[in-house]
Amino acid sequence: MAVVEQLIRAESDGSISFGNYELPEKKKLENFEHNGNLLKVKTYKDITKLESNENFVYESVPGTAVTSFRETEDGVEFNVEGANDAQITLGLLENTEYSVFVNGSSIGKMSTNLGGKLNLSVELSGEGPIAVKVTK
């Protein structure tokens, strides 16, 4: 899998792909319309961040490339790739417990805080895309 050269794109299956962890300097793209929402992405080697209608959706440190990102009523799922292991923060429902799966294996249940943020670590190290699924 490669980085997303255009920073963000809509996929034919209704999902989105975004992020470029190979950029040496921060780049951003605003007002990308997808399914009635305005998305904004900021990305480079140190961080990748996605907002929808000015609300926090996704952040990784260091930067990552995300493909097949899809939000549902029950959570979110996507594939992520990066040059190094990443700390990922997702914007979900506040005070809610979620089951978290990485590459099909459960890493347990996690609860969001008052702001609806859920934090997880993913071992990437340039190994290719890793599937992440978070469900209520």
Q: What is the pTM of this model?
A: 0.94
136 by DSSP, 3-state: which? coil
61: nearest Cα among 121, 125, 126: 121
Residue 22 DSSP class:
T
Q: Taking CA 98 as the corner, what is the angle to CA 101 and CA 36, rounded to the nearest 5 degrees? A: 95
- Return all residues near 36 (Cβ < 8 A) that are at least 6 apart: none
Position 2 scores a pLDDT of 67
Strands (E), 1-136: 8-10, 16-18, 27-34, 37-44, 47-52, 55-61, 65-72, 75-81, 86-91, 97-102, 105-111, 117-122, 130-135
pLDDT at residue 120, rounded to an integer? 95
Name the 3-class secondary structure at 104: coil
pLDDT given for residue 128 in this prediction: 84
Task: Output the pLDDT for position 5.
Answer: 82
Distance, CA of 74 to CA of 90 (rounded, Å):
13
Per-residue pLDDT of the chain (136 residues; tens, 9 = 90+): 467 888 999 999 999 999 999 999 999 999 999 999 999 999 999 999 999 999 999 999 999 999 999 999 999 999 999 999 999 999 999 999 999 999 999 999 999 999 999 999 999 977 789 999 999 9
- What backbone phi and psi angles, to 5 degrees, belong to 14? 95, -10
Q: To which residue do tokens 């914007």 refer? A: 91
Task: Write down all domains in the chain, each with its CATH number in brackets.
Answer: 8-135 (2.60.220)
